[in-house]
Structure 1
Amino acid sequence: MWWGIAAWPVDHFVEDNDFTGKTVIPFCTSASSGIGDSGELLADMAGTGDWQEGQRFRSSVSDEDVVAWVESLE
Protein backbone atom coordinates (compact mmCIF):
# COMPACT_ATOMS: atom_id res chain seq x y z
CA MET A 1 0.00 0.00 0.00
CA TRP A 2 1.47 3.30 -1.06
CA TRP A 3 -0.52 6.36 -0.04
CA GLY A 4 -3.92 4.75 -0.52
CA ILE A 5 -3.23 2.79 -3.70
CA ALA A 6 -1.89 -0.70 -4.27
CA ALA A 7 1.79 -1.16 -5.12
CA TRP A 8 2.61 -1.85 -8.77
CA PRO A 9 3.39 -5.58 -8.25
CA VAL A 10 -0.19 -6.01 -7.02
CA ASP A 11 -1.47 -4.14 -10.08
CA HIS A 12 0.38 -6.56 -12.37
CA PHE A 13 -0.96 -9.57 -10.48
CA VAL A 14 -4.52 -8.30 -10.80
CA GLU A 15 -4.13 -7.45 -14.49
CA ASP A 16 -2.67 -10.89 -15.26
CA ASN A 17 -5.35 -12.99 -13.55
CA ASP A 18 -9.02 -13.82 -14.06
CA PHE A 19 -11.15 -13.39 -10.95
CA THR A 20 -14.39 -14.70 -12.47
CA GLY A 21 -16.34 -16.56 -9.79
CA LYS A 22 -13.97 -15.38 -7.06
CA THR A 23 -14.64 -13.24 -4.03
CA VAL A 24 -11.75 -10.85 -3.44
CA ILE A 25 -11.19 -8.98 -0.18
CA PRO A 26 -8.14 -6.74 -0.35
CA PHE A 27 -6.08 -6.12 2.78
CA CYS A 28 -2.81 -4.47 3.66
CA THR A 29 -0.57 -3.37 6.48
CA SER A 30 0.65 0.18 6.82
CA ALA A 31 2.20 2.34 9.47
CA SER A 32 0.42 5.44 8.21
CA SER A 33 -1.47 5.19 4.91
CA GLY A 34 -5.05 4.01 4.75
CA ILE A 35 -6.37 1.54 2.21
CA GLY A 36 -7.82 4.48 0.28
CA ASP A 37 -9.28 3.71 -3.13
CA SER A 38 -7.06 0.71 -3.76
CA GLY A 39 -9.89 -1.83 -3.61
CA GLU A 40 -12.03 0.05 -6.10
CA LEU A 41 -9.06 0.68 -8.39
CA LEU A 42 -8.05 -2.98 -8.32
CA ALA A 43 -11.63 -4.10 -8.99
CA ASP A 44 -11.81 -1.78 -12.00
CA MET A 45 -8.45 -3.05 -13.19
CA ALA A 46 -9.51 -6.69 -12.82
CA GLY A 47 -12.88 -6.30 -14.52
CA THR A 48 -13.99 -9.64 -13.03
CA GLY A 49 -14.68 -11.00 -9.57
CA ASP A 50 -16.79 -10.03 -6.61
CA TRP A 51 -14.62 -7.40 -4.92
CA GLN A 52 -15.55 -6.66 -1.31
CA GLU A 53 -14.55 -3.81 0.97
CA GLY A 54 -10.98 -4.22 2.14
CA GLN A 55 -9.19 -3.78 5.43
CA ARG A 56 -6.06 -1.90 6.44
CA PHE A 57 -4.16 -3.15 9.46
CA ARG A 58 -1.63 -1.09 11.36
CA SER A 59 1.91 -2.37 10.89
CA SER A 60 1.96 -3.72 14.45
CA VAL A 61 -1.31 -5.67 14.13
CA SER A 62 -1.60 -8.68 16.43
CA ASP A 63 -2.25 -12.21 15.22
CA GLU A 64 -5.45 -12.17 17.24
CA ASP A 65 -6.75 -9.09 15.42
CA VAL A 66 -6.10 -10.67 12.03
CA VAL A 67 -7.72 -13.95 13.06
CA ALA A 68 -10.77 -12.08 14.40
CA TRP A 69 -11.12 -10.21 11.10
CA VAL A 70 -10.82 -13.39 9.02
CA GLU A 71 -13.37 -15.14 11.21
CA SER A 72 -15.75 -12.19 10.80
CA LEU A 73 -15.76 -12.81 7.05
CA GLU A 74 -17.28 -16.27 7.35
Structure 2
Amino acid sequence: MRVLTDPQGPFERCSQTHHEALPMWASATPPEEMFRYDAACEFEDVVRQRREIEQEAAAARVAGAVDQADQGEGVMA
Protein backbone atom coordinates (compact mmCIF):
# COMPACT_ATOMS: atom_id res chain seq x y z
CA MET A 1 0.00 0.00 0.00
CA ARG A 2 2.92 2.29 0.72
CA VAL A 3 4.13 1.99 -2.89
CA LEU A 4 0.66 2.58 -4.35
CA THR A 5 0.03 5.72 -2.29
CA ASP A 6 3.56 7.13 -2.59
CA PRO A 7 3.62 10.62 -4.21
CA GLN A 8 6.01 9.24 -6.85
CA GLY A 9 4.14 5.92 -7.12
CA PRO A 10 2.14 4.52 -10.03
CA PHE A 11 -0.76 6.92 -9.38
CA GLU A 12 1.35 10.09 -9.12
CA ARG A 13 -0.64 11.80 -11.90
CA CYS A 14 -4.03 10.91 -10.40
CA SER A 15 -6.30 12.64 -7.94
CA GLN A 16 -9.71 11.81 -6.50
CA THR A 17 -11.39 13.39 -9.52
CA HIS A 18 -8.85 12.79 -12.30
CA HIS A 19 -6.96 9.79 -13.65
CA GLU A 20 -4.05 10.11 -16.05
CA ALA A 21 -2.44 6.81 -17.00
CA LEU A 22 1.31 6.51 -17.28
CA PRO A 23 2.64 5.66 -20.75
CA MET A 24 2.77 1.94 -21.54
CA TRP A 25 6.09 0.15 -21.28
CA ALA A 26 7.63 -1.11 -24.48
CA SER A 27 7.55 -4.87 -24.80
CA ALA A 28 8.55 -7.57 -27.25
CA THR A 29 6.87 -10.86 -28.00
CA PRO A 30 8.60 -13.63 -26.01
CA PRO A 31 10.14 -16.59 -27.86
CA GLU A 32 7.79 -19.56 -28.46
CA GLU A 33 9.86 -21.93 -26.31
CA MET A 34 9.52 -19.69 -23.27
CA PHE A 35 5.86 -20.57 -22.70
CA ARG A 36 5.31 -24.05 -24.07
CA TYR A 37 1.90 -25.60 -23.54
CA ASP A 38 2.04 -28.47 -21.08
CA ALA A 39 -1.20 -30.46 -20.87
CA ALA A 40 0.06 -32.22 -17.73
CA CYS A 41 -0.34 -28.95 -15.86
CA GLU A 42 -4.06 -28.80 -16.44
CA PHE A 43 -6.04 -29.82 -13.39
CA GLU A 44 -8.64 -31.85 -15.32
CA ASP A 45 -5.90 -33.87 -17.01
CA VAL A 46 -4.21 -34.64 -13.71
CA VAL A 47 -7.49 -35.82 -12.21
CA ARG A 48 -8.24 -37.94 -15.29
CA GLN A 49 -4.76 -39.49 -15.22
CA ARG A 50 -5.03 -40.28 -11.51
CA ARG A 51 -8.44 -41.89 -12.08
CA GLU A 52 -7.04 -44.02 -14.94
CA ILE A 53 -4.14 -45.18 -12.76
CA GLU A 54 -6.52 -46.11 -9.94
CA GLN A 55 -8.76 -48.02 -12.38
CA GLU A 56 -5.77 -49.91 -13.78
CA ALA A 57 -4.64 -50.81 -10.25
CA ALA A 58 -8.14 -52.02 -9.35
CA ALA A 59 -8.30 -54.09 -12.56
CA ALA A 60 -4.91 -55.62 -11.73
CA ARG A 61 -6.12 -56.54 -8.22
CA VAL A 62 -9.24 -58.19 -9.68
CA ALA A 63 -7.14 -60.03 -12.26
CA GLY A 64 -4.80 -61.23 -9.49
CA ALA A 65 -7.77 -62.47 -7.42
CA VAL A 66 -9.17 -64.30 -10.46
CA ASP A 67 -5.77 -65.91 -11.10
CA GLN A 68 -5.59 -67.07 -7.48
CA ALA A 69 -9.11 -68.47 -7.66
CA ASP A 70 -8.27 -70.29 -10.90
CA GLN A 71 -5.24 -71.85 -9.21
CA GLY A 72 -7.30 -72.87 -6.22
CA GLU A 73 -5.43 -70.61 -3.83
CA GLY A 74 -7.55 -69.13 -1.08
CA VAL A 75 -10.68 -70.86 -2.36
CA MET A 76 -12.27 -73.54 -0.29
CA ALA A 77 -13.29 -76.57 -2.39
Structure 2 length normalisation: TM-score?
Answer: 0.18
Structure with the greater relative contact order (CA < 8 A, sep ≥ 6): 1 or 2? Answer: 1
- Larger % of strand: which? 1
- Larger % of helix: which? 2
**In terms of Rg, which structure is larger?**
2
